[in-house]
Amino acid sequence: MVCVEHLQVKSMSRSAAGTVERPCRNVRVKSGFNKSILDQGWAEFGSPLDDELQWSGGWLIALPPPSASRTCPGCRHVAAENRCTQAQFKWVAYGHANHADLVGLMNELARGHRLAACG
């Protein structure tokens, strides 16, 4: 079983130009970032992976991405305050602290197991 986030590539690479009333800043930077997102081919990654997993008897579970790295893996409490910095997760009440990406992976795997168990 492989669990991946179902990334909304179209939303992630949306234009940063804004409107006439509310123009956005850093449009050139956002444009370069959008190009790098689209060059990665994240949208096409799932299909060959799914084919390979089906051939070998496994399965791919695509999960919605919200709050994966802001959720405590112990008690499942979700709060923006849990994400102290880009890299640090800290849930003071429960006493759990770890790298935010690792916490996100732990949560995605647990969500995948729950989804697989429930059908």
Q: 76 and 99 share a domain?
A: yes
**Residue pLDDT, tens place only, 67-86:** 777 787 778 878 777 777 77
Alpha helix ranges (H) inside the chain: 9-12, 27-40, 42-55, 100-118
* Cα–Cα dist 17/23, whole Å: 6
Q: What number is the average pLDDT over the span 102-114? A: 85
For residue 18, being part of any structural domain is answered with no
Q: 78 and 35 share a domain?
A: no
- Give the sign of the dihedral formed by CA 102, CA 66, CA 45, CA 109: positive
Range of the domain at 30: 1-13+24-63
Grouping H, G, I as helix, E, B as strand and the rest as coil, residue 24 is: coil
Q: 28 and 83 share a domain?
A: no
Q: 57 and 89 share a domain?
A: no
Q: How confident is the model at residue 89 (pLDDT cuts 50, 70, 90)?
A: confident
For residue 8, being part of any structural domain is answered with yes
72: Cβ contacts below 8 Å, ≥ 6 apart:
78, 82, 91, 94, 96, 103
Q: What is the pTM of this model?
A: 0.62
